[in-house]
Amino acid sequence: MLFDAPFHRPATRLRAGVAHVPGFLTLQEQAALVAQARDIARSVAGTPVAMARPVVGAGRMSVYTLSLGRFWAANPYRYVTSVGGVDAAPVPPEWTDLAHRALQAAAEVAGELAPWADGGFRPEAVLVNYYRPDATMGLHVDANEVSGAPVVSLSIGDEALFRIGHTESRTRPWNDVTLMSGDLLVFGGEARRAYHGVPAVRPATAPSGCGLREGRLNITLRQVDA
């Protein structure tokens, strides 16, 4: 990005159960996560669980998705452990530790998340989504998990506009927040089944040293079972 000079962005409780922690990941951590995700993607390339643009009811998504732990399948939407006899790549153990640290940080901002800050969270499914500079994600609900555990979301690369609404429909009111490289966002509690999405990525905003020249990598960690 043009100006990499740091500026203060305080951690914020966007609404009940939604915490935004700017700069949660250091540049070194971001680059390491990108490198690890690339290695995993290469290891499953050409298999039924390869990173790809999923086909959903509205057509093919603009986002590339890599599933770890459990494979996120569409039509119907569900999690499966394998596709065509090929298991989804396992979740790296250090990503579990990272999720626990993330929930502790989020609970300091949004007290509703405190019950999940004790280390009991199990990231059984991880979605690694790559957004090209022109990619978007429509408003949707993460409803395939039986567990009511929060979703832990990490952003790397280009900035994105994240939008979270309510649980009834895709209509207003919304909360919009800019997610920059290294930011953490966690949503749980009464916001766990809220509609959310990414209306826009802001090209050429990735900081040097994050591991990505362009686009955005979003890593979301989820507990599937209760």
> Is 196 known to sit in a ligand binding site?
yes
Cβ contact 203:167 at 8 Å: no
DSSP reduced 3-state for 193 = coil
N-to-C CA span, the chain: 42
**Contact residues for 217 (Cβ-Cβ < 8 A; gap 6+):** 33, 34, 37, 128, 129, 130, 131, 155, 156, 157, 211
> Is 140 known to sit in a ligand binding site?
yes
CA distances from residue 196 to 7, 89, 140, 172 in whole angstroms, order as listed: 27, 26, 5, 11
| Residue ranges of the binding site for Fe cation | 140, 142, 196
Residues comprising the binding site? 140, 142, 196
